[in-house]
Structure 1
């Protein structure tokens, strides 16, 4: 049995994992970025000072083996209307936040949702730190936050974090034990 590790985030990673879960005789691991700072994820991240869970939520849904996959995915991706209180929030993000509280950890929430959705493989965050992504553009402009980077009409010279980030050790272990590593480049 081969160990396949896929690293990425957003729509690209979840799309790849939706197809890869159908491969027989492999151990799949998705290592997911937690730098998202937009929408519901960004609001929760800012208020509760927790790593971003939106990309992880998408990958959890993509790796589900449930017969009623579309029902669970629809519920996890349901977004409340409006902009106040729960308006604009994804139901899956709120469930994730509730499970963080009841299990006592970010990883506890991932493991609980993985069991509920009957996920094939494991999903690991790249870090448990609350991170903010920066981009230095070719013209010297510094852009703060993932949600802002794509709004600037400029070419990226480099992306980075301003603080030291501690990688999640289980993600490092999975990379070291991998037979195949796939790095899915995202929108940046």
Structure 2
């Protein structure tokens, strides 16, 4: 594999940090972000956002790094931004709260496009296509992966609305994307 800027690397992810269910991993990520009680309140009002947050957890897992801060998890950063943005609209009728949450998550999810995930399995490197392949948690659980490695995407500035929408559709339903004004 050509020499690229490595952002983050995890060896033997299925042995080292076994992933639990999306629900448990979401709970851990919310605690890591310091938003657990806030998340419980929002999810009580809007159960659909819990389901979307679980899909986000499956898509990124705790392993996906924030390309702007290698030590942080993009999942934790996405959730923190979503909940902290939505918090300002708690007393509203809720629609604005949902819209702000969805938009904040999609905005943070855009960082995902600044990296390319490479998976080493059996000595071969394969590019993980986040938009087309299974959610990362399923890939990790199913395959005997030797290394997950995120490299800086050479075309990170080429982010179209279409690509952003594809990523968002992996997390949010059509109705949620319509509500937030993406469709």
Scaled by the length of structure 1, what TM-score is found?
0.30
More helix by share: 2
Scaled by the length of structure 2, what TM-score is found?
0.30
